[in-house]
């Protein structure tokens, strides 16, 4: 290892070989071992003003935990991380580090940034394997807080409040806690039984109760929770209803939302023969969209045995997915049809998908998102045969809670309005954050919002 060590480059991380992993659901990235982690940690310059921390939505003391790795005191590194994050094994795996901590790393100016994500993951995996619990519950203060949703935002908020001594109950609509960590992100990127379950167990060990199969807004409303003695409520209910394109033929059999396809496979474990929930893997699958969800759906379909095309209306530069996911997808054999957009879905006489009419696109002037706007190329239409189309186009907010909570303000897009710094909503004692407020975003941003809201709730309950 030492012979090939180049201080300007990241210590390479071991991965399953592309052609092997394209046929299994085991984790792609194998993570650093002790030597690799120590070597990578040695690349950190311990900047006095660490830019990386600024890039982290939950402000982990990054040089601090890396310094502990340098000392070989991994437990100490875990304690540093636990001060800021309840889900390090998750974040180390799914955060878009290139646009956050690593994007700001000084090393990145001349070479490659320190592999902060992989180091975080190493610390989290090490403590899990050694059975060490980082972080502990605070002295009980007798105040009850309810959390809606057990995804990254709710878990983070719950964990922080429990550390402050609050009596916290999370209500989860699904039969399993974890939110997008269990229904959305696939096993090959985030193992459920080892990583996710363990992180949720850690939150439970802080004294947080999780009630599954309770739908806030249906089984019980926010107002009724208040009547039952909860003094504050945090809404971290996540994204919402999957979007479709509204093009002809979209109701044909074989057109799925990425949410459906991924939920069948991840939460319901349809890839296992012994699972009761069916999935139609498809022979030739077109995934529409360019975000992380599109990559997850594409790589899932690939593993189920299909030929997979990602059809995205902008170019490679504009793909919103994490770079590593795009890279992995390509290595595994997902075909990218960039600057193309479906305009119609064709069905056979029994109304099953048989192809998609695709129009080519070109990039025009930048739009409000700063990305160059795709414009249609007239006369460029062609038909791509396929038997399955998966729409990964984002979501629109779920009205379940807003429509059953009087006085809870929503914006014109239907998202809950909440103050960014505290999570406060228009309703007294009701806080919100994560995708329910921002629309579909990332795990770490949802965690950041949960963290701020925990502080906001603590402040509110102290100063009532």
Partner 1 sequence: MYRITKVEHLSEKNWLMNVEAPYITRSCLPGQFLIVRTGELGERIPLTICDYDREKGIVTIVFQVVGESTAKMSQLKEGDCFTDVVGPLGQPSEFVKEDIEVLKQRNYLFVCGGVGIAPVYPQVKWLAEHGVKADVIMAARSKDLIFYEQQMRSVAANVYITTDDGSYGMKGVGTDMVRKLVAEGHHYDVCVAIGPIIMMKFTSLTTKELGIPTIVSMNPIMIDGTGMCGACRVVVDGQVKFACVDGPEFDGHKVDYDLAMKRAALYRKEEAEKFERYKASLQ
Q: Which residues bind partner 1 (CB under 8 A)?
A: 173-175, 183, 212-215, 218-220, 239-242, 244, 250-251, 253, 256-257, 259-260, 263-264, 267-269, 272, 274-280, 350-351, 398-400
Q: What is the DSSP string of 151-215?
A: SHHHHHHHHHHHHTT-EEEEE-SSSSTTTHHHHTS-TTTS-IIIIIHHHHHHHHHTT-EEE-S--
Q: How far is the CB of 254 from partner 1 (least distance, A)?
A: 8
Q: What distance in Å separates the CA atoms of residue 113 and residue 108, rounded to the nearest whole number?
A: 4
Which of 66, 262 has the CB closer to partner 1?
Answer: 262
Q: What distance in Å separates the CA atoms of residue 255 and residue 24, rounded to the nearest whole number?
A: 24
Q: How far is the CB of 211 from partner 1 (least distance, A)?
A: 9
Q: How far is the CB of 341 from partner 1 (least distance, A)?
A: 20
Q: How far is the CB of 377 from partner 1 (least distance, A)?
A: 28
Would you state the structure tokens that stand for residue 415, as one six-digit string? 């998202």
Beta bridge partners of 146: 169, 233
Q: How far is the CB of 208 from partner 1 (least distance, A)?
A: 19
Which of 99, 403 has the CB closer to partner 1?
Answer: 403
b/e burial code for range 14-30 (CB count within 10 A of at least 16 → b): ebbeeeebbeebebbbe
Burial class (CB in 10 A: 0-12, 13-18, 19+), 190: buried
Which of 193, 365 has the CB closer to partner 1?
Answer: 193
Q: How far is the first Cα of the chain from the last one, in angstroms, to the nearest whole number?
A: 58
What are the phi and psi torsion angles at 265 (to 5°)?
Answer: -75, -45
Q: What distance in Å separates the CA atoms of residue 270 and residue 371, rounded to the nearest whole number?
A: 37
Q: Residue 189 CB: number of other CB atoms within 10 A? A: 23
Which of 98, 250 has the CB closer to partner 1?
Answer: 250
Q: How far is the CB of 265 from partner 1 (least distance, A)?
A: 11
Cβ(247)–Cβ(342) under 8 Å? yes
Q: What distance in Å separates the CA atoms of residue 334 and residue 28, rounded to the nearest whole number?
A: 15
Which of 92, 342 has the CB closer to partner 1?
Answer: 342
Q: Map tokens 């060990």 to a residue.
A: 205
Q: How far is the CB of 363 from partner 1 (least distance, A)?
A: 30
Beta strands in 12-62 (DSSP E): 14-15, 29-31
Which of 92, 184 has the CB closer to partner 1?
Answer: 184
Which of 103, 414 has the CB closer to partner 1?
Answer: 414
Q: How far is the CB of 174 from partner 1 (least distance, A)?
A: 7
Which of 33, 277 has the CB closer to partner 1?
Answer: 277
Would you state the structure tokens that stand for residue 231, as one six-digit string? 């003094």
Instruction: Put the strands of the sheet holding 255-257 in their side by side order.
Output: 255-257, 388-391, 284-288, 307-312, 335-338
Which of 237, 337 has the CB closer to partner 1?
Answer: 237
Which of 132, 275 has the CB closer to partner 1?
Answer: 275
Which of 28, 268 has the CB closer to partner 1?
Answer: 268
Q: How far is the CB of 213 from partner 1 (least distance, A)?
A: 4
Q: How far is the CB of 217 from partner 1 (least distance, A)?
A: 9
Ramachandran class of 250: left when φ > 0, alpha when ψ lies in -120 to 50, beta otherwise: alpha
Q: What distance in Å separates the CA atoms of residue 264 and residue 418, rounded to the nearest whole number?
A: 32
Q: How far is the CB of 218 from partner 1 (least distance, A)?
A: 6
Q: What distance in Å separates the CA atoms of residue 391 and residue 242, rounded to the nearest whole number?
A: 8
Residue 462 CB contacts under 8 Å (≥ 6 apart), including other chains: none
């Amino acid at each position: 290892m030492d012979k090939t060590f180049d201080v300007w480059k990241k210590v390479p991380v071991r991965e399953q070989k592309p052609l092997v992993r394209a046929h299994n659901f085991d984790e792609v990235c194998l993570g650093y071992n002790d030597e690799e982690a120590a070597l990578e940690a040695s690349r950190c310059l311990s900047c006095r003003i660490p830019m990386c921390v600024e890039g982290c939505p939950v402000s982990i003391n990054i040089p601090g935990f890396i310094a502990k790795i340098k000392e070989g005191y991994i437990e100490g590194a875990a304690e540093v991380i636990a001060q800021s994050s309840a889900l390090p094994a998750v974040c180390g795996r799914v955060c878009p580090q290139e646009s956050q901590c690593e994007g700001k790393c000084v090393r990145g100016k001349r070479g490659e940034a320190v592999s902060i994500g992989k180091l975080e993951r190493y610390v989290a995996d090490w403590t899990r394997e050694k059975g060490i619990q980082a972080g502990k519950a605070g002295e009980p203060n007798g105040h009850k807080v309810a959390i809606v949703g057990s995804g990254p935002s709710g878990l983070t908020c719950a964990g922080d409040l429990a550390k402050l001594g609050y009596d916290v109950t999370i209500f989860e609509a699904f039969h399993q806690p974890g939110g997008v960590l269990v229904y959305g992100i696939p096993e090959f990127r985030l193992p459920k039984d080892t990583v996710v379950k363990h992180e949720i167990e850690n939150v439970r060990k802080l004294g947080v109760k999780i009630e599954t199969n309770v739908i806030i807004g249906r089984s019980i409303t926010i107002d009724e929770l208040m009547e039952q003695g909860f003094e504050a409520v945090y809404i971290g209910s996540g994204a919402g209803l999957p979007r479709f394109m509204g093009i002809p033929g979209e109701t044909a059999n074989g057109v799925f939302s990425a949410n459906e396809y991924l939920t069948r496979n991840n939460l319901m474990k349809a890839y296992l023969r012994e699972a009761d929930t069916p999935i139609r893997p498809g022979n030739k699958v077109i995934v529409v969209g360019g975000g992380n969800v599109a990559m997850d759906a594409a790589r899932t379909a690939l593993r189920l045995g299909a030929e997979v095309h990602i059809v995205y209306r902008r170019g490679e530069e504009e793909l919103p997915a994490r770079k590593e996911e795009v890279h992995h997808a390509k290595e595994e054999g997902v075909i990218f049809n960039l600057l193309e957009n479906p305009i119609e879905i064709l069905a056979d006489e029994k109304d099953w998908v048989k192809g998609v009419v695709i129009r080519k696109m070109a990039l025009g002037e930048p739009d409000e998102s700063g990305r160059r706007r795709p414009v249609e190329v007239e006369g460029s239409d062609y038909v791509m045969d396929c038997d399955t189309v998966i729409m990964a186009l984002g979501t629109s907010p779920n009205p379940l809670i807003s429509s059953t909570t009087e006085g809870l303000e929503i914006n014109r897009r239907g998202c809950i309005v909440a103050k960014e710094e505290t999570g406060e909503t228009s309703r007294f004692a009701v806080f919100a954050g994560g995708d329910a407020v921002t629309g579909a975003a990332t795990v770490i941003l949802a965690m950041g919002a949960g963290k701020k809201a925990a502080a906001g709730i603590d402040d509110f309950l102290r100063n009532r």
